Chains A and B, each alone.
Chain A
């Protein structure tokens, strides 16, 4: 069992847990993920590592309530425990001095991108960050992003904070500005990562995305997370989750993310119904 040391509600439906997992904290690298299972009945879901503290022996995860598992997770408090917390999984993000790197974070993607941006900054890169959200009330960790960014651009879809519009607009402006951009890291909803990749492709700027297909074991055993990259089938859990965004078959990713839509709906309805009955 893995104890939750701290819980923070970052925005109404996005929560942070700091979990006691000393061995995972010891090995965690930017870009890696953990697979968690809440309890005996739970499913195994991957969550990208948002931070870690080796002295404290803790790993931080940030998740958005989207289905039964994340809704059940959101009911836990500090002091409660999670049955399983497996990691660190996946290949760490490639960190070296590239020059100027643009980090594009969409929604909950700001959490996983933070350790990557920090490591890239420490490696001597100039960091320009773009933080996008639907609305002002959904923005979190702006300070954290600012702490390692030489420049930070915030966008909201509804214009309630920062620039109105989506992240690809300032991304395109940067690419057109004449400043040499050596690399782009985009993490967020799949559709946002796709459009970031489409935006950078004409400029030939290498763009790394962190894919989030459905997984079961997270160790290469099942092949559920297969994605097509450059025409070759890869397992996101073992070969990724980072891939070259220009090579990803996005339509396949979207299609495979929809496999269990009906079941997810059914499960969530049943669970909400049980919750109502008990409240």
Chain B
């Protein structure tokens, strides 16, 4: 047996000083040679434990083997038979806590860089469009299904249902499909061209996409069910921003991360005035929060031209929910971390513009419900950080619109919709739900897994 190679092929990346001033993708992607070298590290172990760690059940060892052997069309076929959005997943999945964490090599050294290989295969397909056979779609069932929301859960459910022969229509509130993949995750981490290509792939399966359609306003779930749709899948995510609810939060210059990122990514404010939507460019910007959205916001603010950008987080680095990789990227680019720090109030000038943020120093106490140590205020520790822009990235909750306009749909106190964990079936007849609308803000891949499971259950229902 060949000697184990315990080191992964490094990912080429843009230099931090250069990339901190542009919106181009940070990670540049493997060459074919690099991808095959990394693929050949896979020992093709019989346990296939990596595949067990994948929420959408990609046959990981098989696509890696095809890639290693240079059979790219086969690698694409294997990957896309389970995952309709591989270019997205290869970039934003937290592989380190999923497939890569269960890789057999992980016990001895670096696990196979599964995410990077997935990205390579997806990018190869996009570059070699037309050289592949179209995906197999089952005989038409003649049954219509409505999917509400075109984020990762909705796109996955729609693609799977279309492949199973059902006639699927996606209703999307915004003017482009993709949900958080378009409005939330920045270009430098997930180029919009890649999201669009994967949305186009889903459409190529026969899925109709109705943009500008706010379900709950334009049409209700019951109206859809009364107008020919045999089942509805709700994948509307968690779109409602949370605020701190401290004094001064409505001052000018204080954004929710959703607003800031929507302006920058969806509306392309980084190209203002060529594009009409503006965004304020602060000199000293504080981002409140410690998740991926906080990192994305901080790195966008830097790229727009901020001189100093702070991540203000009430716990310590160990408790940060952001991916390690993104924290490291942010730090390399010069983002400063003000940890164990929590805003008490925002200070404004006479024109209502934010000029400062009064904070408490925090310390960690006993573990709370999340298992992380609870941050507690150090009495008398108040101090002021001078800032001219603040981005509040505390998380999001589901938009109440669907729940409020859909009788019979049960929701929790947190605003999430109650659905069966395995099938996504809600308490309402013919309605399924999955992704952030059920779990609260989580990951792209967990939403995709939920979309996949619901699609399978909807198919069983329609054929039953």
17 of the cross-chain contacts (CB-CB < 8 Å) are: A27-B219, A41-B275, A41-B276, A42-B276, A43-B267, A44-B175, A87-B214, A216-B263, A220-B400, A221-B183, A221-B399, A222-B241, A224-B259, A259-B280, A260-B278, A260-B280, A263-B272
CB-based A-B contact count at 8 angstroms: 113
Q: A266 vs B277: C-alpha distance in the bound complex, in angstroms?
A: 12
Contact with A along B368-401 (1 / 0, CB 8 A): 0000000000000000000000000000000111
Whether A221 and B276, one on each chain, are in contact in the complex, defined by CB atoms closer than 8 angstroms, is no
Q: Residue A219 contacts which of B256, B263, B401 (CB distance < 8 angstroms)?
A: B401
Taking CB atoms, residues of chain A closer than 8 Å to B280 are 259-260
Q: A88 vs B213: C-alpha distance in the bound complex, in angstroms?
A: 10
Whether A86 and B214, one on each chain, are in contact in the complex, defined by CB atoms closer than 8 angstroms, is yes
* Chain B residue at smallest Cβ distance from A266: B273
Q: A217 vs B401: C-alpha distance in the bound complex, in angstroms?
A: 14
Per CB-CB distance, the 4 closest pairs between chain A and chain B, nearest first, are A255-B352, A263-B278, A222-B259, A43-B276
User: In whole Å, how far is A272's beta carbon from the nearest beta carbon of chain B?
Assistant: 12
Whether A252 and B352, one on each chain, are in contact in the complex, defined by CB atoms closer than 8 angstroms, is yes
Q: A238 vs B263: C-alpha distance in the bound complex, in angstroms?
A: 19
Whether A233 and B272, one on each chain, are in contact in the complex, defined by CB atoms closer than 8 angstroms, is no
User: In whole Å, how far is A176's beta carbon from the nearest beta carbon of chain B?
Assistant: 35
**Contact of A258 with B by CB under 8 A:** yes
**Contact of B23 with A by CB under 8 A:** no
Whether A27 and B174, one on each chain, are in contact in the complex, defined by CB atoms closer than 8 angstroms, is no
- Chain B at the A interface: mostly helix, strand, loop or mixed? loop
**Contact of B340 with A by CB under 8 A:** no
**Contact of B243 with A by CB under 8 A:** yes
Whether B274 and A221, one on each chain, are in contact in the complex, defined by CB atoms closer than 8 angstroms, is no
Q: Residue A44 contacts which of B239, B255, B267, B278 (CB distance < 8 angstroms)?
A: B267
**Contact of A37 with B by CB under 8 A:** yes
Whether B351 and A86, one on each chain, are in contact in the complex, defined by CB atoms closer than 8 angstroms, is no
**Contact of A270 with B by CB under 8 A:** yes
Taking CB atoms, residues of chain B closer than 8 Å to A44 are 175, 267, 277
User: In whole Å, how far is A222's beta carbon from the nearest beta carbon of chain B?
Assistant: 4
Whether B262 and A252, one on each chain, are in contact in the complex, defined by CB atoms closer than 8 angstroms, is no
Whether B219 and A23, one on each chain, are in contact in the complex, defined by CB atoms closer than 8 angstroms, is yes
Q: A86 vs B218: C-alpha distance in the bound complex, in angstroms?
A: 9
**Contact of A267 with B by CB under 8 A:** yes
Whether A217 and B174, one on each chain, are in contact in the complex, defined by CB atoms closer than 8 angstroms, is yes
Whether A219 and B214, one on each chain, are in contact in the complex, defined by CB atoms closer than 8 angstroms, is yes
Q: Residue A267 contacts which of B249, B250, B276, B399 (CB distance < 8 angstroms)?
A: B276
Q: A220 vs B250: C-alpha distance in the bound complex, in angstroms?
A: 16
Whether B241 and A87, one on each chain, are in contact in the complex, defined by CB atoms closer than 8 angstroms, is no
**Contact of A53 with B by CB under 8 A:** no
Given A220-B239, A221-B239, A226-B250, A84–B175 Cβ distance below 8 Å?
yes
Taking CB atoms, residues of chain B closer than 8 Å to A252 are 250, 352
**Contact of A102 with B by CB under 8 A:** no
**Contact of B258 with A by CB under 8 A:** yes
**Contact of B252 with A by CB under 8 A:** yes
**Contact of A61 with B by CB under 8 A:** no
Q: Residue B258 contacts which of A37, A223, A259, A266 (CB distance < 8 angstroms)?
A: A223
Taking CB atoms, residues of chain B closer than 8 Å to A220 are 239-240, 399-401
